[in-house]
Structure 1
C-alpha cells in the first residue's frame, strides 16, 4: 500500500533579490516497507 504520494510538488524560496526554485514538478510514491533518504549539504532546504 502507498504511504506517501506526492504529485506535481514544487517549492520556491523567495528573497528580496532572487527567486530560487528548489523543487519543480516532483512526483514521488513511497510504499509500505520502503525507505527514503533525503541528502544534501547544510542549508540546502532539506527540511
Structure 2
C-alpha cells in the first residue's frame, strides 16, 4: 500500500513538471512563430 502512495505522488509531480514544460514551450511560441506551429501540432487541445 505504501508503494501505491509513492506512485500517486510521483504521478502528480510528473503532471506538474509537464505543465511547466508546456508553459515554457508557450513562451518560446511567443518569441518564434515556428515553435508555435510545432506546439499546436502536439498540443492541439489548447489547454495551456
Q: Give the TM-score normalised by structure 2.
A: 0.23
Instruction: Name the structure with the higher helix share.
Output: 2
Instruction: Determine which structure has greater relative contact order: mean sequence separation of CA pairs < 8 Å that are 6+ residues apart, divided by chain length.
Output: 1
Task: Please identify the structure whose Cα radius of gyration is greater.
Answer: 2
Instruction: Name the structure with the higher strand share.
Output: 1
